[in-house]
A = this chain, B = another copy of it.
Amino acid sequence: MNTRTPIVILNFKTYLESTGEQALKLAKISEKVAEETGVNIAVAVQHADIFRISAEVEIPVLAQHIDAVDAGGHTGSVLLESVKEAGASGTLINHSEMRMKLADIQEMVKKTADNGMGSVVCTNNVETSAAAATLKPNFVAIEPPELIGSGIPVSKAEPEIVEGTVDIIHDISPEVTVLCGAGISTGEDMQAALDLGTEGVLLASGIILADDPKKALLDLVGNI
C-alpha cells in the first residue's frame, strides 16, 4: 500500500474548455475524483472563475497568478486580497507562461504566507528551483518549459532534473514540498514523478483537453 499522499494541481490555464461554466463542470469532476480516490486534487482557475467555483466545490481552488501590488491605485492588476476574498486558498506564482521578477516572487511568497494562503512557485530547472526554495514557498513545481504541453512527461524525459530539484530543495529548505510538471498525463507518468521523490504533479492539457477529462483524471490518480 502506498502511504504517500500525492497531490495533483490541475491548471485550467485559459482554455475555453476550462472557462466559466466549463470550468465549473471540470472543477466538480475534479472534486468527485478526489472523493473517489482519496487523492488531493486542487484546481488553479482563471481569476474571473474563482468565486463561482469556490462557492460550489470543497476541493482547494487556487489562483493562477497574483500581481506584485498592494491595495491601492493599480487598475487591472490582480490583488491577492481579491482572489482570497473570492475563495482562493492559494496561488501559482511564476508559472512559465507568467514569469515574474525575482523581487516580486519573493514579495508574493511572503504575502501569501502572511495572508494564510498557500504558494506554488513554478521553476524551470535545478538552479531556479534552488533559488525559489530559499524563499520558502509551500510548494516548488519544477516544469522544464520545453516539455509543457508536449505530451512527453518530464518524469521520463528529464528525470535528472526532477531528482536534482528534489535533492537541492531538501538540502536548502526541507519543508518545501516538491511537485513536477510538464507533459504529465497518465498514471504511469504520475507514478514516475512520485518515484523520483516528488510529492505530486502540476498538469493541464493532458486532462483538460482530454476527450473524457474524468476518465483521464481517474487514469492519472486511480492506481497511486
Which residues of the partner chain B approach A75 to less than 8 Å between Cβ atoms?
A: 11, 13-14, 44, 64-65, 92, 95-98, 204
Residue from B47, B71, B124, B135 in contact with A131 in the complex, judged by beta carbons closer than 8 Å: B135
CB pair A86–B134 under 8 Å, yes or no, is: no
A40 CA to B180 CA, complexed, in Å: 45
Contact present for B131 and A82 (CB under 8 Å): no
CB-defined contacts of A172 to chain B, threshold 8 Å: 134, 172
3 nearest A-B residue pairs (beta carbon): A65-B76, A20-B85, A76-B98
Residues of A within 8 A of B (CB): 11, 13-16, 19-21, 44, 46-52, 63-65, 69, 71-79, 81-83, 85-86, 88, 92, 94-106, 110, 123-125, 127-128, 130-132, 134-135, 148-149, 172, 204-205
User: Can you list 13 contacts pairing A with B, beta carbon distance less than 8 Å?
Assistant: A20-B81, A20-B85, A48-B85, A64-B76, A65-B76, A65-B77, A102-B123, A103-B123, A103-B124, A103-B128, A127-B134, A130-B135, A131-B131
